[in-house]
C-alpha cells in the first residue's frame, strides 16, 4: 500500500475575526481487513480512526472516524481567525501510524 498523502487547503491570510474554511484530504486506501490480496492472503486492516487539527498547539477540531469511512477521506471545518499562527493536522491510523501536515495563517 502506498504511503498516505495528506493535503490541506486554507487561506494564507485572514482578517481578525474572519471565519475561514479549512479543507483536508488524505490519500489513503482505508483497507478493511476483509479483502484478499493477489497472493490469497488477507490484506491487514488499515483505517484512519482519528483526525485532529491544532492551532498554536491548542486543539481546535477533532473527528473520530469509523470503519465505514470512505477511502481518501475529506474533512472540512470552519475556524475564526483571531491571531496569526500555525496549524498542525494529524491523521491517526488504527495501527498507530500518524500522518501529519502543517500550514501557517497570518491575521492582519
Write down the pTM of the prediction: 0.91
Q: Exposed/middle/buried for 81, CB within 10 Å: 0-12, 13-18, 19+? A: buried
pLDDT at 33: 84
Kindly report the length of the chain.
Answer: 108
pLDDT at 1: 63
What's the structural domain count of the chain? 1
CATH number at residue 60: 2.60.40.10
Q: Per residue in 34-89, pLDDT tens? A: 889 899 999 888 899 999 999 999 999 999 998 888 899 999 999 999 999 999 99
* Dist CA 36 CA 33 (whole Å): 8
pLDDT at 84: 98
Q: Which domain holds residue 23?
A: 5-33+42-107
* Dist CA 97 CA 101 (whole Å): 14
Torsion of CA 98, 104, 107, 108, to 10 degrees: 180
pLDDT band at residue 29 under the 50/70/90 scheme: confident
pLDDT at 106: 98
Q: Are the C-beta atoms of residues 85 and 105 closer than 8 Å to each other?
A: yes
Amino acid at each position: 500500500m502506498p504511503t498516505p498523502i495528506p493535503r490541506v487547503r486554507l487561506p494564507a491570510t485572514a482578517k481578525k475575526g474572519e471565519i475561514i474554511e479549512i479543507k483536508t484530504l488524505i490519500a489513503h486506501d482505508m483497507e478493511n481487513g476483509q479483502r484478499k490480496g493477489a497472493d490469497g492472503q488477507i490484506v491487514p486492516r488499515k483505517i484512519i480512526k482519528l483526525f485532529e487539527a491544532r492551532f498554536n498547539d491548542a486543539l481546535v477540531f477533532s473527528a473520530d472516524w469509523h470503519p465505514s469511512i470512505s477511502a481518501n477521506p475529506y474533512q472540512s471545518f470552519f475556524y475564526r481567525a483571531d491571531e496569526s499562527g500555525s496549524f498542525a493536522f494529524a491523521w491517526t491510523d488504527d495501527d498507530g501510524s500518524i500522518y501529519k501536515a502543517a500550514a501557517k495563517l497570518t491575521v492582519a
